[in-house]
Chains A and B, each alone.
Chain A
Amino acid sequence: GESVGLHLPTLSVQEGDNSIINCAYSNSASDYFIWYKQESGKGPQFIIDIRSNMDKRQGQRVTVLLNKTVKHLSLQIAATQPGDSAVYFCAENRGNAGNMLTFGGGTRLMVKP
């Protein structure tokens, strides 16, 4: 069925290394994608977004890449820090009127000191 899914449920990286979190989506009508970070006991926190007319967008230490050909989204975190440890969700907007987001299952990022 149509869904947003993640390839790796847990990603463990060394502090200072770069992290890459991946997400696959199946709905070619999706035109807006967001990455959220969720720390324990908190709500999803907006990190970065990208529209379907772009293939790359950069923020502070984060980059989102969108490959519409293979329906793949990734989040790159440069120089990963202990504070980056959290669960990361991708979410897609399928172009619906109510701005409804469909979330993926989440990837837990663990940063080793």
Chain B
Amino acid sequence: EPEVTQTPSHQVTQMGQEVILRCVPISNHLYFYWYRQILGQKVEFLVSFYNNEISEKSEIFDDQFSVERPDGSNFTLKIRSTKLEDSAMYFCASSEAVQANSPLHFGNGTRLTVT
């Protein structure tokens, strides 16, 4: 079964550094998402992306965050200057369509630790 893959599985960085989290969505999917989960808390929406532009973003997704689809297969999340509170699991997801009968399929996440 096709799956969403994320790299790296664990990223440790110092506060103030830039990080790029990478994702390869399912190949025939057109809609891409980033969610995050702070330890012990709910999964939270960050951003959705379609046709090379952001469709929707949450309040969490401030100017420090950006997303990009640099080629036909990768989808990246960049955090420009990491803060301690950015430490979380970051999940990439994709779906075939954006209608509300197209479930999101998630990757296994990247654990980001900011020290």
Residues of A within 8 A of B (CB): 31-32, 34, 36, 41-46, 49, 51, 89, 91, 93, 95-106
Contacts and interface: CB of A to CB of B under 8 A. Distances in A.
Interface string B92-104: 0101001111111
Contacts of B99: 99
Contacts of A102: 45
A61 B43 CA distance: 25
B43 A99 contact: no
Interface of B: 4, 6, 31, 33, 35, 41-45, 48, 55-56, 58, 91, 93, 95, 98-109
Contacts of B55: 97-99
A101 B108 contact: no
3 smallest beta-carbon distances between A and B, as pairs: A98-B56, A32-B100, A43-B106
Contacts, number: 67
B101 A99 contact: no
A44 B106 contact: yes
Contact of A100 (B48, B91, B105): B48
A41 B108 contact: yes
A42 B45 contact: no
B91 A34 contact: no
Contacts of B91: 43-44
Contacts of A99: 31, 33, 48, 55, 95, 98-100, 102, 104
A31 B100 contact: yes
A93 B31 CA distance: 15
Contacts of B58: 100
A31 B33 CA distance: 20
A45 B106 contact: yes
Given A49-B103, A99-B98, A99-B102, A104 B56 contact: no
Given A41-B108, A43-B106, A43-B108, A100 B101 contact: no
Contacts of A51: 100-101
Contacts of A91: 43
Contact of A98 (B6, B43, B44, B98): B98
